[in-house]
Structure 1
Amino acid sequence: MEGKRLRWAVWAGLAVSLWLVGCASQPVTVTPQPVLLRIVAADAYGPLVETVVSAYHEARPWVQVETEVFNRAVGEERLRAGAAELGIFAGPEPEGLWSVPFAADGVAVIAHPTVPVENLTLAELREVFRGRIGDWPDGTPIQVVSREEGSGTRALFEETVMEGSEVTLTALVVVDSRWMLETVSSTPGAIGYVAYGRLEGSVRLLSVEGVLPTPSTLHNYPLRYSVLLTAPTEPTGEARAFAQWLLSPEGQAEVLRRLAPPLEE
């Protein structure tokens, strides 16, 4: 009888020991608390934001990212008012806000597919948009298409091309990149501009000073600029994690599907 009791005690002790070891070896899984991150972007970068946000959510599925798209002037107002933690805009760097370049882009000059021109100099482009050149070489009247006041793309175009001159009063004015692409593609003789990263549809892409914008040529393109990640102050928490991811090889792989690496200082 004593032998049976001893064997039972040994087996019971061994079972408890194995149970304790098994419990100790199980990893503790901690589910992160849901986090909300708000991003405001210039309309030129709506498609880019969708791409990077989708990839970021795959990497950090507990993060819900809400995005809003406006022109740059409205986007900066939203950011300064605290309606978003981060902004994505075309350069130059905004005053009073934290920013870091994460890509390079350029103002692409686009025309109706039948326009018989492949290249314009900056001087020629300026005269076309001033209304001083009114017809294409085949006699087709030129229809200038420009962006609305407050557009970051317009500001960059006017700073680089117009040099203080006014765009012709006969220009059609559109309020976003999609409308610019649709108007230029459907209006014979039309010429306009859009961020290269937003380029799509049946428009003719023109060279400027002999350089056709592509991801491999943007660093030498006359209308190049930096794309900025912006915040009211240096980011913390999830905004900081997003900024670090966007600048990491994983984030840059998503960005470079559309744009070029950041410009060198």
Structure 2
Amino acid sequence: MHLNVYTHHGRGKTRIPSQAVARGVIPFAVLLCIALLLTGCAGTDQQTQQLNGQLKISGSTALQPLVQVAAKTFMDLHPKTHIIVSGGGSKTGLLNVFQKKSDIGDSDIYADPAIYPDPNMTDHIICVTPFVMIVHPDINITSLTKEQILDIFSTGKITNWDQIKAGLNQPIHPIIRPSTSGTRDTFRKYILGGGDEKGTLLKVDDTQQVVNTVASTPGAIGYIALSALKPTVKAIAIDGASPTATTISNGKYNYWSYEHMYTLGDNLPLMNEFLNFMTSTTVQQEAHQLHYITIDEMNLNQADVIPGSHPQQEALAFSSFHESEVNRREAYA
């Protein structure tokens, strides 16, 4: 009887001599080889199957749509995982991860080390969110200057749309996001020059609520992430510029922010895999479709990492000293 026996490993296979099988004598070295190969194969399968557990992600409502899509796709690929995504605003996300109520905190703003002093707070930059001013669809204007926006939201000098366009007699109703909102912080810092806001204050940081309130309130004006723009409201340019990768990169459009996913540096396989997935081609293409600006489009440099970060996070973790708010404006001004 002539018999060939093979064990598979990767793309190749190892042949065991048929004579040894026929005699019922297989050399110890061959047995050892088989054991090692089978262990290696089992280890690979187990590694794939063992990606399980739960992640809690909260924070930025601007980044939430992308994270929800990514989480669904990721769970489809890894059925033993469960990812819970909620909003609440950037400051809520930062606080939740700092207090270990969430595994990942999404944020439109950098974590201030004076507020979140834990040295393990690690910043993972995912993409860029352009923000956009929106008005009720009946407001027939296409652009506002920063000074006009300041006079509407802060100084109170402009209270009726006819002060901007003759014949458009309609009281202006600014819609204000709550203090937990990173979108609001970015708006106040880069559009209002740090000024306070006056208007209708929403109680919950919910981007869809901003859209709905502006759409249903005659004369209303607000601000949202471009990814949340709906036909029920009208987008308004700022100083004649619309939010694009080009206008942001050349400094003509200043209302935008990096989107961050903060962790406490935990070296967990599920967390690391999901963070890697967020910057994968699959998710970055989805980000582009949802009107975020991808890492490649902004030419972000991933060489600088936070000292002491885990090796698995080096592709994603950025030093807040390198990508500071000041450097952000200097780099793209």
TM class, shorter-chain normalised? 0.7 to 0.9
1:154 CA displacement: 0.8
Query: Which residue is equivalent to 1:257?
Result: 289
Conserved? CA contact 1:216–1:260, under 8 Å: no
Are 1:32 and 2:78 matched, yes or no? Answer: no
Query: Which residue is equivalent to 1:70?
Result: 88
- Indicate which of 224, 238, 251 corresponds to 1:208: 238
Alpha-carbon distance in 1 for matches of 2:56, 2:150? 38
Query: Which residue is equivalent to 1:118?
Result: 142
Conserved? CA contact 1:37–1:85, under 8 Å: yes
Amino acid at match of 1:52: A
Conserved? CA contact 1:104–1:225, under 8 Å: yes
- Indicate which of 108, 111, 128 corresponds to 1:104: 128
Larger RCO (alpha carbons 8 Å, 6+ apart): 1
Unmatched segments (≥5 aa) in structure 2: 14-37, 301-330
RMSD over equivalenced CA pairs, Å: 2.4
Task: Name the SS of the counterpart of 1:115 in structure 2.
Answer: coil
Conserved? CA contact 1:112–1:189, under 8 Å: yes
Amino acid at match of 1:163: G
Query: Which residue is equivalent to 1:245?
Result: 277
1:72 CA displacement: 1.7
Are 1:232 and 2:250 matched, yes or no? Answer: no
Alpha-carbon distance in 2 for matches of 1:243, 1:129? 37
Number of aligned residue pairs: give it: 248
- Indicate which of 204, 223, 226 corresponds to 1:196: 226
Cα-to-partner distance string for 1:160-197 (whole Å, 9 max, x where unaligned): 122232212xx111222111101111111111111112
Query: Which residue is equivalent to 2:159?
Result: 134
In the TM superposition, what are the counterparts of 1:146-225 in structure 2 within 5 Å?
146-168=176-198, 171-174=199-202, 175=204, 176-214=206-244, 217-219=247-249, 220=251, 221-225=253-257
Task: Name the SS of the counterpart of 1:254 in structure 2.
Answer: helix
Alpha-carbon distance in 1 for matches of 2:56, 2:213? 31
1:215 CA displacement: 5.7
Cα-to-partner distance string for 1:185-214 (whole Å, 9 max, x where unaligned): 111111111111222241010000111124
Change (3 A) 1:88 1:74: closer
Amino acid at match of 1:61: P
Task: Name the SS of the counterpart of 1:44 in structure 2.
Answer: coil
Conserved? CA contact 2:207–2:224, under 8 Å: yes
Q: In terms of Rg, which structure is larger?
A: 1
Q: Bigger shift: 209-218 or 198-207? A: 209-218
Alpha-carbon distance in 2 for matches of 1:23, 1:215? 49
Task: Name the SS of the counterpart of 2:49 in structure 1.
Answer: coil
Q: Give me the identity figure in percent.
A: 21
Unmatched segments (≥5 aa) in structure 1: 1-9
Amino acid at match of 2:55: L
Alpha-carbon distance in 1 for matches of 2:239, 2:267? 39
Alpha-carbon distance in 2 for matches of 1:239, 1:249? 18
Amino acid at match of 1:254: E
1:94 CA displacement: 4.3
1:248 CA displacement: 2.4
